[in-house]
Chains A and B, each alone.
Chain A
Amino acid sequence: MNLNLDFAVILERWPTFVDGALLTLQLAFIATVLGTAIGVLGAIGRRSSHPIVSRLCGIYVEAIRNTPLLVQIFLVYFGLASLGVKFSAFTVAAAALTINVGAYTTEIIRAGFDSIPRGQIEAAEGLALSRAQIYWHVVMWPAIEKVYPSLTSQFVLLMLASSVTSQISAEELTAVANYVQSDTYRAFETYILVALVYIVLSLIMRAGFWLLGFVIFPRRRRLGTPL
């Protein structure tokens, strides 16, 4: 084993790594925002009294949760291409990640909805709140607050999983690493560096979500503890 590591050659290319990391964060951000929206709609859909709606939402969740992201990405990539429309690798990657994380968010938010005690909803009905008001004030926000830790871990996992989109040549961090290592023949150093960047990104995301929790949940801000 000849250990002559040379990180200098790799570090010289830091601007490309920064670009890759920014693209990874962009992908994660888009998928997080859109995925949360899908998750809320999906969770409402799964609890719908309309059997077809709840069934369809259930099929979506199970289909996504039981197949690998890699295969989903290929399906979206080639599926969109076969429609005859040309999309950039970035759009396809963002779409696939959104569809993927939407299913997990649906399941997590539904668990949050289910954890709201029936009595709370009855009390809100007794106060003559409308259905929409009840969903917004009594069910949705307390539910999201309860599952906030699971949601945020899911989004960090999503950011890490976005590395898979390098397979359809979206130029995020892992794709940059593949390119740099094939150019410099310094595979070990490159991937060690990229692993470190991912760790830093996940720490940044965790810190960000922790701060965001204080901003969006006033109760947490006042009491300093979650529900």
Chain B
Amino acid sequence: MGGSLNANHLMFLGHGALWTIGLSLIGLLGGGIAGFVIALCRISPSLIVRLLSAGYVQLIQGTPLLVIMFLTYFGLPTLGVTVSPLTAAGASLTIYVGAYLGEIWRGSIESVPKPQWEAAEGLALSRSQRMTKVILPQAIRIATPPTVGFMVQIIKNTSLASVVGFVELARSGQIINNSLFEPFLIYTIIAAIYFALCYPISRISRRLERRSGPASLSLGTA
């Protein structure tokens, strides 16, 4: 019971919120690059590449992010590789987000109508030309609403970085709570800040979805 909530505490929470945003951007960027590679591997003409990338997606989608976090932060040091909380959290998010975005984007690429592929082939475009000039521009439009929706999942998932001691929003809430012991008040504030970060993005995603027609359900729990 060390006094009551004051401006310093709120500053600390604000600082945590900034790190939540920062970590989300790292996850989005790293996971985006990984996801793009995975999406391309998933539709590769080579069977081995397709199988390996499908195996990666199955492995990651069958494992909780929390366990991936523990594995990178506590597991790698036992192999002699020491990682900072930021590196561990960023790497875990990249690995995790890459698998999910990869699947979303593979679906988007595959839902570009088949005649578009055939027409591009008929125009004697090479595979990379077909991809960059015909398929991807259309796939990006299909992929935008679910990708924006998944950004909400990324922001919420960054809260799990608190378990490896990375001081983002959830962790800064825990730290303040340890000194004030007013859990209900503090976690309500934390939840409100997460809501303020996520809700606008949810709204944008839903509006994009409505505009683009077919409703796709965005999954997620974290």
A-chain residues with CB within 8 Å of residue B222 when the two chains form the complex: 68-70, 161, 164
Q: Which of A66, A191, A194 contacts B202 (CB 8 A)?
A: A66
**Interface: A116 (CB within 8 A):** no
Chain A hits for B70, CB < 8 A:
174, 177-178, 181, 187, 191
Render A34-72 as a binary contact track against B, CB cut-off 8 A, 1 for contact. 000000000000000000000000000011011111111
Evaluate whether A198 and B63 lie within 8 angstroms (CB atoms) in the complex, with A104-B221, A111-B217 already known.
yes
Cα(A157)–Cα(B221), bound, Å: 6
| A216 at interface by CB-CB < 8 Å | no
Residues of chain B with a CB closer than 8 A to A226's CB:
none
Expressed in whole angstroms, the minimum distance between the Cβ of A207 and any Cβ of chain B is: 13
Q: Is B76 an interface residue (CB 8 A)?
A: yes
Task: Pick from B76, B217, B219: contact of A188, CB below 8 A.
Answer: B76
Give 1 or 0 for each of A155-181: 1 = CB within 8 Å of chain B CB. 001101101101100000010011001
B159 contacts A by Cβ under 8 Å: yes
Q: Is the CB of A194 within 8 A of B67?
A: yes
Point out the residues of chain A lying under 8 angstroms from B81, CB to CB: 1
- In the complex, the answer to whether B75 meets A153 with C-beta atoms within 8 Å is no
Give the residue name and chain of the A residue nearest to B68 (CB). A195
Q: What are the residues of chain B within 8 A of A82 when measuring CB–CB?
A: 183-184
Interface size on A, residues (CB 8 A): 55
Name the CB-closest residue of B to A195. B63
Are A71 and B159 closer than 8 Å at their CB atoms?
A: yes
Cα separation A3 to B195 with both chains bound (whole Å): 43
Report whether B194 and A71 are in contact in the complex, using a CB–CB cutoff of 8 Å.
Answer: yes
A154 within 8 A of B: yes
Residues B117-162 near A (CB distance < 8 A): 152, 156-157, 159-160, 162
Query: Roughly how many angstroms separate A157 CA and B100 CA in the complex, as a whole number?
Result: 12
Q: Does B3 contact A (CB under 8 A)?
A: no
Q: Does B64 contact A (CB under 8 A)?
A: yes
B163 closest partner in A (C-beta): A167
Residues in A with CB closer than 8 Å to B187 are 71, 74-75, 78
Q: Is the CB of B184 within 8 A of A69?
A: no
The 9 closest A-B pairs by CB, nearest first: A78-B183, A188-B75, A199-B62, A68-B159, A66-B198, A187-B74, A163-B64, A161-B221, A191-B71
Interface residues of B, Cβ cutoff 8 Å to A: 58-59, 61-64, 66-68, 70-71, 74-81, 152, 156-157, 159-160, 162-163, 170, 173, 183-184, 187-188, 190-191, 194-195, 198-199, 202, 215, 217, 219-222
Could you tell me which A residues sit within 8 Å of B by CB distance?
A: 1-3, 62-63, 65-72, 74-75, 77-79, 81-82, 100-101, 104, 107-108, 111, 147, 150, 153-154, 157-158, 160-161, 163-164, 166-167, 174, 177-178, 181, 185-188, 190-192, 194-195, 198-199, 202-203
Query: Can you list 7 A-B pairs, Cβ within 8 angstroms, ordered by A?
Result: A2-B79, A67-B195, A67-B198, A70-B170, A167-B163, A174-B70, A195-B67
